[in-house]
Structure 1
Amino acid sequence: KAWLGLDVIDVTPDVAARASLYRVEGAYVKSVAPGSPAQKADFAPGDVILSFNGRKIRTPKQFQNDLSGSEVGSEVYMCVAKDNHRVTVYAVPEERPPYLPAVTKTFPLVGIKVSEIAFGSERAERLQELGRPGGVLVEKVIPNSPAEKAELEEGDIIMSFESRPVRSLREFLSDLAGAQPGQTVSMCLMRAAYRKTIYVALTQNSRFSAIILHRQLCSFVR
């Protein structure tokens, strides 16, 4: 399966305005895998892919489908909005690796270790199929920790924090840093085929005190 090492999401109105796009469409580059064909072609987070081999790209899913139909080792070209300019980028797809290492971060006070969703993993492909902008993976839950009391589980994917999409580990860190003691926050998780929202009241001693106000099975992920 052809692979460039790009993690792409939907273009938002704000992104379209910054990139001087006439329409809110394309594939927004969220991240670039180290050492990947995309990195070698000078792709960078914030780029917007507008066309692939001459075909207009309207959604990330269309880009992934077009890329998947390409041949490994055969050069492809893309029109890309980069720093308010339109440039043509050439790249040579490689065989998709089984997975790529993910950046991880541990939160001792919360009792969880989370990571970016690894490139090429089944979870990454599942999120892409569902049209989700991303998330962070709960890799470890410390026994008797606030996270365990909040019923977080290893393998959960945190998709939003206070109704704001969590697209990357950096966004999750930023959201945590902005939370105030005493504030009640919500996180939406994906667990297997379900989404689950957890509401937590933060205390003075720990950002996640695991005082659970409400736990609700939100909906089936379709």
Structure 2
Amino acid sequence: MLRKILMTSAIVAIAAFGTFAVYTPSWAVSQPTAMAPVSFADLADKLQPTVVNISSTQKLDADTQQAPEMPEFPEGSPFEDFFNDYMKRHQDQMQAVPATSLGSGFIIDKDKGYIVTNNHVIKDAQEIRVTLHDNAIVNASVVGKDEKTDIALLQADLKSHDVSSAVLGDSDAMRVGDWVIAIGNPFGLGGTVTAGIVSARKRDINAGPYDDFIQTDASINRGNSGGPMFNLKGEVIGINTAIFSPSGGSVGIGFAIPSAITKSVIDQLVKYGKTRRGWLGVRIQSVTDEIAESLSLGKPRGALVASLTGTGPAEKAGIKAGDIIIEFDGKPVADMRALPKLVAETEIGKAVPLTVWRDGKETKLSVTVGELEVAEEKGLIEKQDTPEPSKPEYGEMVPELGIKLMALNPDIRSQFSLPSDVTGLVVMDVGGDTDAARKGLTEGDVIVELNQTAVKTMADVKKAVADAKAANKSTVLMLVNRQGDIQFIAVKLAAAAKPAPDPKDPSPAPAAPDQPATPPVPEAAKP
């Protein structure tokens, strides 16, 4: 599992730090036959004063603590009263117990006292203490923090101490195979130095919307969280944040937040005390091969707009559900995860050009970027829970799609809690061995569009399917409303069953021994 390398203890211990050293591209060019350094000692000596250990204290409320379980006694047993009295005394005596988190950090400005670490190291902290290289212990306060990237900026009085400031380097210049070193506090063992290489770049470990981690095999463990990763120039090119480990210890797979992200976040925390990210106001999804084919896009690329968020920037710019955003502010959008990063880095209030794929061709638009944090405060990007509807008993089967549909009526709206403004046809059943089931369609989903055409009746559905077959398309693109969550799903068309021969028609129907004239209704897919 992926674990944030945070160490928790009941005792305050010296927090650690983490660093990695790496060969930069310029070294690779100037020294094409460069070997591994004989020693990292000089570099470690130079960098030690920039790294700090961090301990943060949180108080656990008494009602969150685990009380002893009450033994079971026979009815009327004298021990029952005894243990009842004991439990009452125990509950009264329980106090808020402090817990301590241990992590690492690094100084970026000695004069101003700025220290960078992971947000999870100081989360919910009531007291933060920083141990410096000269063994002095100082209190620190939080300047700002960003949960989305797991970065926090602290401030402490460092002027009179024997410490130095680290320099943020260029993480984009790092290459796979470059050397890195780590100086940290794994398991409370302060001053531990390890070395390794950049194993991979741009790793997405599903930790957040802006994942772009540097992977390393340098040994980092619990307690290294928030420590810096250095290149061989002594520049910080990453913040150690997570490890992949089945045991909790290092197995040579660690992850660091690139300095390119760190610089942007820290600049905003210094200036505003919080982050200010660009916001577009769209819900997006990946463009699969099937979706690309159904929209005549060719190779999958870009981010598919599933729905718009209120009266956000996207709606004002004329972006529509079903558009594929393939270029933003002059930069190509390679895939779905690329777009949030591009938008987040854009100046708020800036008008930028973007290109969408719509109706089989490129369309140029301009959008004025909003602020993500403001949208969050207004609740414009809140998730909705999806209740599980009961299984209905009626509807008309669409064999090519493998689903049973029914037009909306008051009873159906009531059964599935569908608002009056929702239009389309509701899914009443899904065939077990169908592409619709494999794509996650379930009872209660509302099919709003087929192939970007609104459908409200079974006639609309049949026409859309027929049009797709006539155009030799193997998939149909559905716009699905799942209790307010809008998304596109591309479903492969199955061969429709041959109709049973009309007894009044003397001409024989073509034989189809492998397919019944009237296909049975498939079993419902499990939700």
Instruction: Normalising by structure 2, report the TM-score.
Output: 0.23
Structure 2: where are the runs of 5+ without partners? Answer: 1-276, 392-435, 447-479, 484-519
Structure 1: where are the runs of 5+ without partners? Answer: 111-160, 174-179, 188-222
Instruction: Kindly indicate whether residue 362 of structure 2 is the aligned counterpart of residue 22 of structure 1.
Output: no
Paired amino acid for 1:12: T
Give matches, 1:30-179, under 5 Å: 30-96=306-372, 97-98=375-376, 99-100=379-380, 109=390, 162-165=437-440, 170=446, 171=480, 172=482
CA distance in 1, matches of 2:361, 2:389: 43
Instruction: Kindly indicate whether residue 523 of structure 2 is the aligned counterpart of residue 183 of structure 1.
Output: yes
8 Å Cα contact 2:285-2:304 kept in structure 1: yes
CA distance in 1, matches of 2:293, 2:522: 36
- The structural deviation recorded for 1:87 is 1.2
8 Å Cα contact 1:80-1:88 kept in structure 2: yes
Q: Is the radius of gyration larger for structure 1 or structure 2?
A: 2
8 Å Cα contact 1:80-1:86 kept in structure 2: yes
- The structural deviation recorded for 1:48 is 0.6
Paired amino acid for 2:286: D
* CA shift digits 1:15-43 (9 cap, x unpaired): 22243323111111111112111001111
CA distance in 2, matches of 1:106, 1:165: 15
8 Å Cα contact 1:51-1:78 kept in structure 2: yes
CA distance in 1, matches of 2:522, 2:363: 48
CA distance in 2, matches of 1:70, 1:169: 35
Instruction: Kindly indicate whether residue 292 of structure 2 is the aligned counterpart of residue 6 of structure 1.
Output: no
Q: 1:22 to 1:106 in 2, by over 3 A?
A: closer
- The structural deviation recorded for 1:183 is 3.3
* CA shift digits 1:150-199 (9 cap, x unpaired): xxxxxxxxxxx8432369963347xxxxxx99935323xxxxxxxxxxxx
- The structural deviation recorded for 1:93 is 1.1
Residue of structure 2 equivalent to 1:155? none
* CA shift digits 1:60-110 (9 cap, x unpaired): 110111011111101111111111121111001111212226778867747
Paired amino acid for 1:165: G
CA distance in 2, matches of 1:29, 1:7: 6
8 Å Cα contact 2:297-2:360 kept in structure 1: no
8 Å Cα contact 2:302-2:336 kept in structure 1: yes
Q: 55-64 vs 99-108, which deviates more?
A: 99-108
CA distance in 2, matches of 1:19, 1:108: 31
8 Å Cα contact 1:18-1:84 kept in structure 2: no
Q: 1:162 to 1:46 in 2, by over 3 A?
A: same
> Percent identity, aligned pairs only?
22
8 Å Cα contact 2:356-2:363 kept in structure 1: yes
Aligned residue pairs, count: 134
CA distance in 2, matches of 1:181, 1:46: 31
Backbone CA RMSD of aligned residues: 3.6
8 Å Cα contact 1:163-1:186 kept in structure 2: no
Paired amino acid for 2:338: Q
Q: 1:9 to 1:108 in 2, by over 3 A?
A: closer
CA distance in 2, matches of 1:65, 1:22: 24
